[in-house]
Structure 1
Amino acid sequence: MENISLNWIDILIIIVYLLGIIWYGIKKGNQESSEDYFLAGRNMTWPIVGISLFAANIGSSTLIGLSSDAYNTNIGVYNYEWMAAVVLVFFAIFFLPFYLKTKVYTMPEFLERRYDSRSRYYFSFITIVGNVIIDTAAGLYAGNLILKILFPEVDSIVIIGLLALAAAAYTIPGGLSSVVHTEVIQALLLLAGSVLLTYFAFTEVGGWEGLMTGLDGLKDSGYLAKNSNEIMHLAGPANDPVMPWTGLLFGIPLLGFYFWANNQFMVQRVLSAKDLNHGRWGALFAGLLKLPVLFVMVFPGLVAIVLFHQTDISSLNYFTVSETGTSVLCTNLQNCPNMTYPVLIYNLLPAGVLGLVIAGLLAAMSSSISATLNSASTLITMDFVSKMNPNLSSKGLVRVGQIATVVLVILAASWAPQIEKFASLWEYLQMVLGFIAPPVVAVFLLGLFWKRANGNGAIASLVIGLLLAITLIVIKVYGYIPFISDMHFLHTAPLLLLVCMAIHAAVSLMTDPPKSESTDGLIWTKEIFTQETEELKSMAWYQNYRILAIILLAITATIVTYYF
């Protein structure tokens, strides 16, 4: 593979995009009050809510992670995408009404309403740390993968710093209003770039038949362990090292529930909806947008197996970290699957289109980074600073949020290079998420559906669950214990959830029941469903979120059944 350089047309497109999106973001910013800055005035309509959710989720780290995991394994990575539609239906029915009714700014604030301040501060701190080391850092790392190829002589720290500065340029002055409006543009550009890459990839490989024939040929030659039919299956047996069906059934919904229903940087977009209906429609729209990801973001990774499995990428001068901790030059995609997406775009796309796709990738990166920066600064401001200084003015809260964003950018940029120590970007994202999610999901689930759950049980579950999660991460990364080290993280996560729920229930039953102010109006009941049913009778079918949810689930089931 020859050294990569950009045509002047590509460079012009990228520069125009970067300057244009910063200008547009600042123009759409709103910092008149803390509600304007952190929740965009709670005035967003459902298309913006849905597209914003999609764009914040399909960041550069996810885009690169999907293609690299497909190259490395099979289409099983798509399970994380279609499951989002199912989880968002559950979220829209059960959780969203309580979030919007209480008019909270943050998910930790909701925990305080349901339990007490201990849960709020603890979960807020953990969420801030997670936003920095998982979401923001991963987005910066992914952007560095693309640009490092073009500028190999520039240190990664410099590239990451510039990317962080570009994303923060409109997030700091404009707040969530800037973020969600720019995400609409970025999502459209990202989808356009993905469709174009898929078109050129399938053209090069000879269409669907060429892809299947190529995969079968590699199986016959001994290069692949599976044929095309096996690679196109979403899940394997319970002992499958990549995607066990038991992990799909129990593990992925758990991760999805945390990500879509409890994670501040995702839920914050729905909190900005103008009313409950727009919030629900937006959530379902985001679920619908996730379904085509298989065709435009996962399949190109399979095409790369056929086209580039023998490609020498050493000329790209990209280094990975070996198992011994030493830096090793990447020579092929087998030892550097994170390079799958860059290899695809730099080899297949013509001038002009390449610039558009790189701009789309940078759009994805800035979407995810700006989303996490804004949500984390919201947590710092509303869950800590406003409590320590309740007399701080609305303008003062906005200023604190801006300062917090600057600090978070620096921390994320400092951590991003550490991600290279993991086998792949997707493994990093899912493994860490798989260990931190169970304690949080346990607290939210029991809090919503079990009136007896109290603050003592919640904090015990959160603290012990986190200690167990840290222990498991250390064992997975740095040590080896039989059974524990060999267990798939999609099995470990649901088992940890059961442990956390048992701790929560046991401690709650051994201590005093919660006060009525912690449960009144915050527990889901059958009466709520009945009342809502009457309200929905007066709405047209296309406005009834239940009918829309059934349609979404039917489309999802059709796709999943075909590839299962």
Structure 2
Amino acid sequence: MEGAIHNIDLIIIGVYFIAVMLIGLYVARGTKTGEDLFLGGRTFGWGIIGLSLFASNISTTTIIGLSGAAYSSGIVQSVYEWMTGIPLIIAALIFIPLYLRSRITTIPEFLELRFDRRSRKFFSVVTIFTSIVVDTAGGLYAGAIVLKAFFPDLVIWQTTLVLALVAGIYTAFGGLKAVVYTDAIQAIILIFGCSVLAYLMFEKLDFSWENVLAAAPDGHLSIIRPADDRSLPWPGLILAVPILGFWYWTTNQYIVQRILGARDINNARWGVILASFLKIVPLFIMVIPGTMAIGLFPGLDNADQVFPTAVMNILPVGLIGVVLAGLISAIMSSVDSTLNSASTLLVVDFVKTRNPDITDKETVKYGRMTTLILMAVAAIWAPMIENFGGIWAYLQQMFSIIVPPIAVLFLVGVFYKRGNKEGAYATLIWGTIGGIILFVLGQLGYWPLHYVYNVGIMVVISALLFILVSRATPAPSGEQIELYTYKKDLINAGMENVPWYKDYRYQIVLLLVVIGYFTVVFA
């Protein structure tokens, strides 16, 4: 790989590091209570929510994984990005009003209100595990891979440790408010840096879409793939993408936490609509550039090196520093979010349920301690991801195990009012065990189906299990049905005296038109 990083680029990166740390520590001065630490005092407006949702999701895992997948197997993996609007629309219509009315701090807390404490504890443990072992560690590993491309002498485990320390310190002391404010800055840097790189790559191809198509193999720019495709077979667009998306954007603590911190229901809804439109952008500045790289850098052995190779060979001095700062931004924005959410779950769902009378000062102390401990665990695990193949494959394999039973409890549990605590707990236990069995059989070569089929199979099994066990056991209480299940007034909540252009329902219609357009174009 040609090119080298210049001192000017190092200065830009250094300035970025210092700025993020100072912002995080400045915000920490106002973090006095548990609600400040975990929900930013419930003061967030729609702009900060939308930018933070975008930045916390667009990690180095996404940039490196998606561009690598676009290079090796096509743009089909990008549907996880630009179809984000579908689960967020469901969240805006139904789950945001349910969550905000409940005044919950954690998503597992909602399961206790709807079912019982067993479901809350189980879901919380699973979420903490995935937040640290999958999300945080995956982000650290991807970040280390990027930096190693620029600095070949770096050692992966040492690099992940340093990255974890930087993000962990300001997260531990500043809490969610530090996370969302730094995320907003990081989102802007990410979009700018990746847009510049995409523009210059397209320039190398004479701004010709025909040149992009000429270099790409047949079907590379289509999201409809054969049923036996190894990346994402077409049934996965129905069986897996909607379910994985729903879990991630509607029930995942590290994503939903900034929504729970909204100042009101309208700002929460506008924030997720903004994030939905922003999530279409990666198709053009991360995914398609991965396809452009086929013509510009043919024959790369490791797909995870596509983005770093493009940066080193395309960008001039100074802009390398900007893009690298954007990549570091991606590391920080994902790591800080997952650390804060995992800490929130540990303190709120375990420490405070055992000791409900602990003071705000003690709550903040526990929150900071757990953040630093979880940071260390993620840094230790991150180098192990190298044994799982591509970053994107690692993430999707892990998600396919835990998502189906959780998605069923929320999607079915909110609409099926007969669903009860026994059905919920049985679904979590046996649905998760079933997912693990299919995963292990697949790794051993005894189960040939792609993981997207496993998601669909386990969703059906989990739904049947939930319904059958619920029907065979006592019905839930009237309060659980009344306050924590679907009602028509949820959709209209907060819309009184709102002008049409601020009505989130009109915004949803526009979003669906845009998503539908790109679905047809890339079918």
Compared CA separation, residues 563 and 210, structure 1 to 2 (3 A) = closer
Secondary structure of the structure 2 residue equivalent to 1:519: helix
Equivalences for residues 49-198 of structure 1 within 5 A = 49-198=49-198
The answer to whether the Cα contact below 8 Å between 2:172 and 2:371 also exists between their aligned partners in 1 is yes
Q: 2:254 aligned with 1:254, yes or no?
A: no
Counterpart-to-counterpart distance in 2, 1:240 and 1:232? 14
| Residue equivalent to 1:354 | 320
Letter aligned with residue 102 of structure 2: T
Question: Greater shift after overlay, 207-216 or 192-201?
Answer: 207-216
Equivalences for residues 319-398 of structure 1 within 5 A = 333-334=300-301, 336-398=302-364
Compared CA separation, residues 209 and 288, structure 1 to 2 (3 A) = closer
Compared CA separation, residues 506 and 343, structure 1 to 2 (3 A) = same
Counterpart-to-counterpart distance in 2, 1:360 and 1:66? 16
Equivalences for residues 358-507 of structure 1 within 5 A = 358-477=324-443, 479-481=444-446, 484=447, 486-507=448-469
**Deviation at 1:537?**
6.0
**Deviation at 1:213?**
5.5
Letter aligned with residue 18 of structure 2: L
Counterpart-to-counterpart distance in 1, 2:118 and 2:262? 28
| Residue equivalent to 2:221 | 232
| Residue equivalent to 1:13 | 12
Q: 2:273 aligned with 1:307, yes or no?
A: no
Compared CA separation, residues 350 and 33, structure 1 to 2 (3 A) = same
Secondary structure of the structure 2 residue equivalent to 1:309: coil
The answer to whether the Cα contact below 8 Å between 2:70 and 2:291 also exists between their aligned partners in 1 is yes
Once the two structures are superposed, what CA deviation does each residue of 1:516-556 show, in whole Å capped at 9, x if it has no partner? Answer: 23222111123545xx28x6363211111111111111111
Q: 2:27 aligned with 1:24, yes or no?
A: no
Secondary structure of the structure 2 residue equivalent to 1:503: helix
| Residue equivalent to 1:222 | none
**Deviation at 1:243?**
2.6
Which of 253, 257, 271 lines up with 1:264 in the alignment? 253
Q: 2:522 aligned with 1:557, yes or no?
A: no
Compared CA separation, residues 444 and 209, structure 1 to 2 (3 A) = closer
**Deviation at 1:169?**
2.0
| Residue equivalent to 2:498 | 539
Counterpart-to-counterpart distance in 1, 2:120 and 2:62? 29
The answer to whether the Cα contact below 8 Å between 2:205 and 2:212 also exists between their aligned partners in 1 is no
Compared CA separation, residues 153 and 527, structure 1 to 2 (3 A) = closer
| Residue equivalent to 1:35 | 35
Secondary structure of the structure 1 residue equivalent to 2:21: helix
| Residue equivalent to 2:212 | 212
**Number of aligned pairs?**
522
Counterpart-to-counterpart distance in 1, 2:248 and 2:474? 31
Secondary structure of the structure 2 residue equivalent to 1:44: coil
Once the two structures are superposed, what CA deviation does each residue of 1:171-211 show, in whole Å capped at 9, x if it has no partner? Answer: 01100000000000000000001101101111123323463
**Deviation at 1:56?**
0.5
Counterpart-to-counterpart distance in 2, 1:111 and 1:145? 38
**Deviation at 1:150?**
3.3
Letter aligned with residue 83 of structure 2: M
Letter aligned with residue 258 of structure 1: W
Compared CA separation, residues 280 and 301, structure 1 to 2 (3 A) = same
| Residue equivalent to 1:286 | 275
**Deviation at 1:465?**
1.1
Letter aligned with residue 452 of structure 1: R
Once the two structures are superposed, what CA deviation does each residue of 1:327-353 show, in whole Å capped at 9, x if it has no partner? Answer: xxxxxx33x211111111111111000
Scaled by the length of structure 1, the TM-score of the pair is: 0.90
Counterpart-to-counterpart distance in 2, 1:281 and 1:527? 18
**Deviation at 1:400?**
0.3
Counterpart-to-counterpart distance in 2, 1:419 and 1:528? 42
Compared CA separation, residues 509 and 213, structure 1 to 2 (3 A) = closer
- Percent of residue pairs identical: 39
| Residue equivalent to 1:328 | none
Counterpart-to-counterpart distance in 1, 2:334 and 2:69? 20
| Residue equivalent to 1:219 | none
Counterpart-to-counterpart distance in 1, 2:377 and 2:9? 31
Counterpart-to-counterpart distance in 2, 1:562 and 1:92? 26
**Deviation at 1:507?**
0.9
Question: Greater shift after overlay, 23-32 or 408-417?
Answer: 23-32
**Deviation at 1:125?**
0.6
Q: 2:478 aligned with 1:516, yes or no?
A: yes
Letter aligned with residue 14 of structure 1: I
Scaled by the length of structure 2, the TM-score of the pair is: 0.97
Once the two structures are superposed, what CA deviation does each residue of 1:426-459 show, in whole Å capped at 9, x if it has no partner? Answer: 1111121122100100111122101111111111
Once the two structures are superposed, what CA deviation does each residue of 1:456-502 show, in whole Å capped at 9, x if it has no partner? Answer: 1111000111111222222233x011xx2x21211210110110111
Question: Greater shift after overlay, 460-469 or 28-37?
Answer: 28-37
| RMSD across aligned positions (CA) | 1.4
Once the two structures are superposed, what CA deviation does each residue of 1:328-381 show, in whole Å capped at 9, x if it has no partner? Answer: xxxxx33x2111111111111110000000000000110000000000000000
Letter aligned with residue 541 of structure 1: W
Compared CA separation, residues 552 and 418, structure 1 to 2 (3 A) = same
Compared CA separation, residues 213 and 265, structure 1 to 2 (3 A) = closer
Counterpart-to-counterpart distance in 1, 2:146 and 2:122? 36
| Residue equivalent to 1:323 | none
Counterpart-to-counterpart distance in 1, 2:209 and 2:347? 55
Secondary structure of the structure 1 residue equivalent to 2:419: coil
Counterpart-to-counterpart distance in 2, 1:488 and 1:213? 28
| Residue equivalent to 1:321 | none
Counterpart-to-counterpart distance in 2, 1:153 and 1:59? 23
The answer to whether the Cα contact below 8 Å between 2:75 and 2:220 also exists between their aligned partners in 1 is yes
